Structures are given as structure tokens and as C-alpha cells.
């Protein structure tokens, strides 16, 4: 069965007229009858091409300030008529409705208008009515009609016109219908989410118009796709394609570094900081971050909140790492870092991200507010007789930032704004503490006089006892255990200072 259909007529009505000219010229070369509206009609006429105004078909002008142009039975009848249905064809003849085989249309830029911060009335005017209706109607009748719903499809459409000389197969039309419903469903999702910003109706609607296929997922046997616009967040200056696991680490790195104003360098592995330090200059920050765990740093993700200098690049280049992220790089620093061809070098451009997080779960999705709470000195409540010194408070707040961005259960040990060690992802808080102490000892980092941070309360006094015996002098934790007093009593008896934040920072 031959399912090829020739395009004899086309309705063209677009908001964005860029890249439209080659399409018009090709349709003209194929002797296809053109219909159009308003500004698009004027654009076509300026090319010296004959075009029929849609008003000449409908006998109605564009009304309501352009809100109603194509919404008419003589337009939609010509699109929706089933060419193999005798009754439909008879009605076209009865009401003098021309068949429309091809529709080229785009939608008002609603998403861009919202992103621009425009007033609500301007946003509302960018809710397309005629365009979205044309897209749905033409896509629905894909057996007979062909829909081009975005300028991103122009080149593919031109190739089709060239290779099939103005004809299309059922497969072609169905694929373009698929793209059309992708465009229309995304558009409607964006409109709904705009209206739902203040209401917060408990409905889960997220949409990304296209995905970026990754080399693989978490493991080579898994498929991976990223939905989003990475180019809005980073400029990639060098290196191979970013992987699924890279993205997980990059997300963790970006969220962690955002907590720090001082010159800070962090090294992450499997979404957790294995080294981080704040210093007066970047080279010192790097060296002290690396000292926290030079073994785990191998193959890690590096991030800093300051420009990478030549001197810093020379030191950084001494180890193997996958990714480095910074707000900028000195030109001579880039020369050093680019010597490894696969090394991914990113400039971070954006630091504002969605305030909602979601993940697939069983047969649905979990949604929550992002943890944006970060305690400052005024939030700390001293729970013990001994209060932490000014220097200890600075270290407590430093450690608390790290513990917030580490996998639970987690304990962080820090001293002089340097991560000494952490225990992460443990089923027991005591185990997390013991892991941290062991790591610090393994790398000859003294924790005498260090501080300890915990992402959640201590259910018993055992953790503060182990910490004290290892040399910890000050503790920060949320508090809230029914047995808080046991930990307080132990600290008071042994001269350990402890503060409560009142905020738990679980991360799973």
C-alpha cells in the first residue's frame, strides 16, 4: 500500500520568522499553494512569493487584537478532514473549504517571557491559542496532514522535501506528529507551572523538550540521559563528554561550594567531600583540601569559588582528576590544565537553581523542598557549661556546612577551617565517627582540638565520649534526642563545649 501523499497546500503562521525563507522558497519551487496570516503573510510577500490571506478563506478579519486569526471551521475543517472519508470530502465541497496538507506554525515564547521577569499581563498574552490548536489538529490527522511545530524541525523538513520531492510517508507524518505533541505538552506544562507557583497544587508536572544522551548511566550497562540545559550553568572549555556520574558529583560540588564566601577549594568523590579547606589564598586552600584525603582525591571532582591562578594550576595538575569547576581561569592556568585531553574544565555561570527536588520512587515520584537552611552563629544554642571559643565557632560552622552536604549518617571532623576527616553513609552514627577518626589518623592529621559536626542528634552519649577521647573539644549537632541530657552531662563532666542548631540535615 502506497502511503505517500503529495503536499498541495500549506498554512504558514509563525511568531519567529528566522530560517523560514528557505522553506518558503522550496515550497514555491514545488508549486505548493500557500496560505498565511498577518506578519507571516507580509514576510512571504516581501520575498516576492504569492500567498493567500487566511481571511480570504474565512471571510473574517483577524480580531481582538490578533487573539483570533485562524480559529475558524474553514481552517480547521481543511486540516481535520479525513481524505478517505466521503462524507468529510463532501462537506469540504459543500462549504467551500480548501484542503490544507501542511501546517507550519510555532508558539508564542511563553517560557522566555516568564524567564524575562515580565509582568503578568505580558505573560498571559504569550499564551498561544491558535497556534496550539493548529498543532494539535494537524498532528491528530497525521494520516493525511503534516505538521511542522518548531523552527528546530526546519532542516529535517527541508531534507524531506528534497528527498521525496514534496511528498511524505505515513511514517514521516507520524514522526512529525510525535514532535508536535512533544512541543504542545511541554508548552502546556510550562503554563500550568506558572499558574501553580503561588497555589502549589500538589500535582507533579515537569517537562524538558529534549534530552542529552550520555555515554551511559551509573554503570556501562545502563542507559543515561540528562534533561536540562547544561549550557545555561556551565561553559565547558575542555575535555570529554560529561558522564552521568560526573553530573551527580558536579551537582554535589556546586551545592557545597555555594555555602562558602571565603576562598575555598573542595574535592568530591561519590557526592561527598573528601577534602575541603578555606584559606586566604587558593594555593593554600588546595594544598590543605588535598591533605584531608589524598587517596580519595584521585579521579575526583574539584571545585573552587575563586579564579584558578597559574600557581594553583601547577599544584592541581600534579594529581589525576576528572573535572574542575571554577568561576574563571587565568589564561596561563588553562594552558597547564588543558594538557590532559580528557580533563573536563568548566566555568560555572549560574548559582541559582530550582528550590524543589524530585526523584523517581517505586511507581511514582518523591518531591521535596531543597534544603536551603544554613545555620549562622546567631542560630547556635550553647547546651553545655563550656561555650565554644570564637575560633571553635568558626570551625563548627565550617564543619556544619560540610555535614549538610554529606551522605547520612555522617560525622565531620574539622580544624582551622580544614576538613580533617569525615565518616559518611554509615548505618550507625558511632561507625561514622570511628571511620572519621581512623581516616584522620591514617593521613596524620591531628584532631586534638578539632570540632565535630553531626547531621542528626546523638541518641546516646557514646559518640561524644568517643570524640572527646580522640581529642575533640567542641561539638555541633541538631539536638532533639530524648537522651540529649546524657550527652550534655558527659560534655559538662569532661569540659567539652556543645551547641545545638535545632535543624537536622539528613541527606540520602
> Annotated active-site positions, please?
140, 270
Q: Smallest Cα–Cα separation from 200: which of 208, 210, 192? A: 192
- Collapsing DSSP to helix, strand or coil, 116 comes out as coil
Is the CB of residue 425 less than 8 Å from the CB of residue 407?
yes
How far apart, in whole angstroms, are the C-alpha atoms of residue 487 and residue 447? 20
Crossing angle of helices 462-470 and 429-442, in 10° steps, is 10
How far apart, in whole angstroms, are the C-alpha atoms of residue 363 and residue 379? 39
Q: How far is CA 436 from CA 299, 391, 430, in A?
A: 21, 21, 10
In degrees rounded to 5, what are phi and psi of residue 134? -65, -40
- Collapsing DSSP to helix, strand or coil, 376 comes out as coil
Between the two ends of the chain, the Cα-to-Cα distance in Å is 56
Q: What grid cell was written down for 281?
A: 589564598
Is the CB of residue 414 less than 8 Å from the CB of residue 451?
yes
Is the CB of residue 301 less than 8 Å from the CB of residue 257?
no
| Exposure b/e, 353-370, CB count within 10 A at least 16 = b | eeeeeeeeeeeeeeeeee
SS3 assignment for 141-205: CCCCCEEECCHHHHHHHHHHHHHHCCEECHHHHHHHHHHHHHHHHHHHHHHHHHHHHHHCCCCCC
Q: Smallest Cα–Cα separation from 288: which of 417, 406, 437? A: 417
Strand-strand pairing, 52-53 and 33-36:
parallel
The DSSP annotation for 279-296 comes to -SSHHHHHHHHHHT-TTT
Strand-strand pairing, 356-361 and 364-369:
antiparallel
The DSSP annotation for 195-234 comes to HHHHH--S------S-EEE-S-SSSTTS--EEES-GGGTE
Is the CB of residue 296 less than 8 Å from the CB of residue 438?
no
How far apart, in whole angstroms, are the C-alpha atoms of residue 189 and residue 205? 6
Amino acid at each position: 500500500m502506497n502511503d505517500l501523499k503529495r503536499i498541495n497546500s500549506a498554512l504558514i503562521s509563525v511568531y519567529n520568522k528566522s530560517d523560514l525563507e528557505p522553506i518558503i522558497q522550496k515550497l514555491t519551487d514545488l508549486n505548493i499553494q500557500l496560505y498565511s496570516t498577518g506578519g507571516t503573510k507580509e514576510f512571504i510577500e516581501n520575498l516576492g512569493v504569492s500567498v493567500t490571506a487566511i481571511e480570504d478563506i474565512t471571510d473574517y478579519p483577524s480580531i481582538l487584537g490578533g487573539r483570533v486569526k485562524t480559529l475558524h471551521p474553514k481552517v480547521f475543517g481543511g486540516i481535520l478532514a479525513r481524505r478517505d472519508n466521503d462524507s468529510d470530502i463532501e462537506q469540504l465541497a459543500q462549504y467551500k473549504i480548501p484542503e490544507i496538507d501542511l501546517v507550519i506554525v510555532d508558539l508564542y515564547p511563553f517560557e522566555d517571557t516568564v524567564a524575562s521577569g515580565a509582568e503578568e499581563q505580558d505573560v498571559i498574552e504569550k499564551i498561544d491559542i491558535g497556534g496550539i490548536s493548529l498543532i494539535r489538529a494537524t498532528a491528530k490527522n497525521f494520516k493525511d496532514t503534516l505538521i511542522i511545530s518548531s523552527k528546530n524541525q526546519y532542516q529535517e523538513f527541508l531534507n524531506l522535501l528534497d528527498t521525496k520531492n514534496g511528498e511524505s510517508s505515513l511514517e514521516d507524518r507520524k514522526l512529525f506528529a510525535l514532535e508536535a505533541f512533544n512541543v504542545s505538552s511541554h508548552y502546556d506544562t510550562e503554563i500550568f507551572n506558572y499558574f501553580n507557583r503561588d497555589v502549589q497544587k500538589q500535582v507533579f508536572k515537569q517537562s524538558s523538550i529534549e534530552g542529552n544522551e550520555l555515554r551511559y548511566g551509573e554503570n556501562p550497562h545502563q542507559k543515561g540521559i540528562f534533561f536540562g540545559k547544561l549550557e545555561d550553568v556551565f561553559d565547558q572549555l575542555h575535555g570529554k563528554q560529561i558522564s552521568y556520574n560526573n553530573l551527580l558529583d558536579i551537582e554535589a560540588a556546586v551545592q557545597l561550594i555555594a555555602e562558602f564566601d571565603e576562598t575555598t577549594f573542595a574535592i568530591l568523590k561519590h557526592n561527598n567531600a573528601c577534602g575541603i579547606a578555606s584559606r586566604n589564598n587558593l594555593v593554600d586552600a588546595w594544598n590543605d583540601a588535598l591533605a584531608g584525603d589524598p587517596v580519595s582525591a584521585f579521579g575526583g571532582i574539584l571545585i573552587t569559588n575563586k579564579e584558578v591562578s597559574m600557581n594553583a594550576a601547577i599544584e592541581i595538575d600534579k594529581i589525576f582528576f576528572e573535572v574542575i569547576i571554577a568561576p574563571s581561569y587565568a589564561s596561563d592556568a588553562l594552558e597547564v590544565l588543558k594538557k590532559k585531553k580528557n580533563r573536563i574544565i568548566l566555568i560555572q555561570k549560574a548559582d541559582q537553581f530550582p528550590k524543589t527536588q524530585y526523584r523517581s520512587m517505586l511507581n511514582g515520584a518523591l518531591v521535596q523542598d531543597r534544603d536551603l537552611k544554613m545555620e549562622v552563629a546567631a542560630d547556635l544554642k550553647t547546651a553545655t557549661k563550656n561555650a565554644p571559643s570564637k575560633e571553635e565557632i568558626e570551625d563548627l560552622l565550617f564543619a556544619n556546612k560540610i555535614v549538610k552536604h554529606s551522605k547520612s549518617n555522617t560525622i565531620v571532623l574539622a580544624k582551622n577551617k580544614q576538613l580533617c576527616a569525615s565518616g559518611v553513609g554509615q548505618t550507625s552514627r558511632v561507625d561514622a565517627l570511628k571511620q572519621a577518626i581512623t581516616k584522620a589518623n591514617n593521613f596524620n592529621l591531628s584532631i586534638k582540638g578539632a570540632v565535630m559536626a553531626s547531621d542528626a542528634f546523638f541518641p546516646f552519649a557514646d559518640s561524644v565520649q568517643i570524640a572527646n577521647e580522640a581529642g575533640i573539644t567542641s561539638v555541633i549537632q541538631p539536638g532533639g534526642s530524648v537522651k540529649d541530657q546524657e550527652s550534655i552531662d558527659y560534655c559538662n563532666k569532661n569540659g567539652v563545649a556543645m551547641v545545638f542548631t535545632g535543624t537536622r540535615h539528613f541527606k540520602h
